[in-house]
Amino acid sequence: MAGRWSRASAGLSRAMSAALRRAPHVAFDMVGFAGAGAIAYGAWLIYVPAGFLVGGTLAMAISILVGRKLGAAAK
């Protein structure tokens, strides 16, 4: 019974260390998405159609950058 708990504890420890290694990358992406949203919202406050244009442009740019990032990670 004790061996089972130690294996579970070791697995949990590995999972937590993997999550903590990945956390800075996820936080960086979330800040980037929040910034893009703030830019689009600011443009929308000035002129409503400009908000949609800026938001769409930023969404396309983000999808291109994320696609390149995932493509580079796959190589």
DSSP designation for 75: -
Residue with tokens 């993997």: 18
Range of the domain at 29: 23-74
57 vs 2, 38, 49, 53, CA distance in Å? 56, 14, 12, 6
Residue 48, domain member (yes or no): yes
Per-residue pLDDT reduced to its tens digit, 14-66: 877 777 777 777 777 788 888 999 999 999 999 999 999 999 999 999 888 88
Whole-angstrom distance, CA of residue 70 vs CA of residue 68: 5
Residue 63 within a domain? yes
Q: What is the pLDDT, as a whole number, of residue 4? A: 65
Q: Is residue 13 part of a domain?
A: no
The total of structural domains in the chain comes to: 1
The C-alpha R_g of the chain, in whole angstroms, comes to: 20
Is 55 a domain residue? Answer: yes
Distance CA(56)–CA(30), nearest Å, equals: 18
